[in-house]
């Protein structure tokens, strides 16, 4: 399976890359020109990194033409709440429009790759103890770009019948050196990712 990972240089992206390589996937990572790569340096010789600007549709289309993915896992996002209040338009652009560019490039190229959308618990705003665990039926009373942008990602994801969606509590992941794929927080996400990796490429209908 050819797997394209956006946001591959982040905390989750580096662990996902390890998992995918263990399962025999060919991993292609979308890389911003200014991204720090220390998390994936030990894996660099085993993956293919493609420089791309997800905000530019032509760049995204070139990325998909080169990657020819069977599955796309979209991790790239602006995930810091404080930054979302300081730069709301940039947050919406990064977290919503970049995903739409991926979908549009797929449409133009006739790609039927499976697409895993990574959202955020910020979609649900303030959650009270009696509302836990969060379910997809919870109301969405979000405010601010950090809430609206993940909601947009989810809504865009619903446009695809092969949708898979998971959430991560932004800002709570420890540094990579203090965690591993066997940690409690990672284990539930890894299970869903493993399921996605085990699926056959979607077929045209």
pLDDT of residue 82: 78
| Count of structural domains, the chain | 1
Residue 203 lies in a domain: no
Give me the domain span that covers residue 193.
Answer: 2-198
Exposure string of 52-76, with b = 16+ CB inside 10 Å and e = fewer, is bbbeebebbbbbbeebebbbbbbbb
3-state secondary structure of 99: helix
> Which pLDDT score, from 0 to 100, does residue 33 have?
84
Res 58: pLDDT: 97
Residue pLDDT tens, the chain, 205 long: 999 999 999 888 999 999 999 999 999 999 988 888 888 999 999 999 999 999 999 999 999 999 999 999 999 988 777 777 788 888 888 888 999 999 999 999 999 999 998 877 777 777 889 888 888 787 776 554 444 545 555 554 444 444 444 455 444 444 444 444 333 334 444 555 555 555 444 444 3
Burial class of residue 138, CB neighbours in 10 A (0-12, 13-18, 19+): middle
Instruction: Note the pLDDT of residue 52.
Output: 95
C-alpha pair distances (Å), 189 with each of 145, 181, 186: 24, 9, 5
Question: Residue 128 falls within a domain, yes or no?
Answer: yes
Q: Is residue 53 in some structural domain?
A: yes
The CATH number assigned to the domain holding 79 equals 3.40.50.720
Is residue 100 situated within a structural domain?
Answer: yes
Q: What is the pLDDT of residue 79?
A: 76
């Amino acid at each position: 399976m050819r797997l394209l990972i956006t946001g591959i240089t982040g905390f989750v992206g580096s662990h996902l890359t390890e998992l995918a390589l263990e399962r025999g996937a060919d991993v292609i990572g979308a890389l911003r020109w200014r991204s720090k790569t220390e998390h994936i340096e030990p894996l660099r010789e085993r993956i293919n990194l493609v420089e791309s600007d997800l905000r530019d549709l032509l760049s995204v289309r070139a990325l998909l033409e080169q990657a020819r993915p069977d599955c796309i896992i979209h991790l790239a996002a602006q995930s810091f709440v404080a930054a979302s209040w300081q730069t709301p338009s940039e947050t919406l652009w990064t977290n919503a429009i970049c995903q739409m560019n991926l979908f549009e490039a797929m449409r133009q190229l006739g790609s039927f790759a499976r697409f895993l959308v990574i959202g955020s618990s910020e979609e649900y705003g303030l959650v009270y103890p009696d509302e836990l665990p969060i379910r997809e039926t919870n109301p969405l009373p979000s405010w601010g770009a950090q809430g609206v942008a993940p909601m947009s990602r989810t809504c865009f994801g619903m446009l695809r019948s092969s949708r898979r969606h998971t959430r991560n509590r932004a800002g709570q992941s420890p540094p990579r050196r203090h965690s591993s794929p066997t940690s409690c927080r990672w284990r539930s996400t890894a299970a869903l990712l493993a399921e996605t990796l085990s699926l056959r490429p979607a077929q045209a209908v």
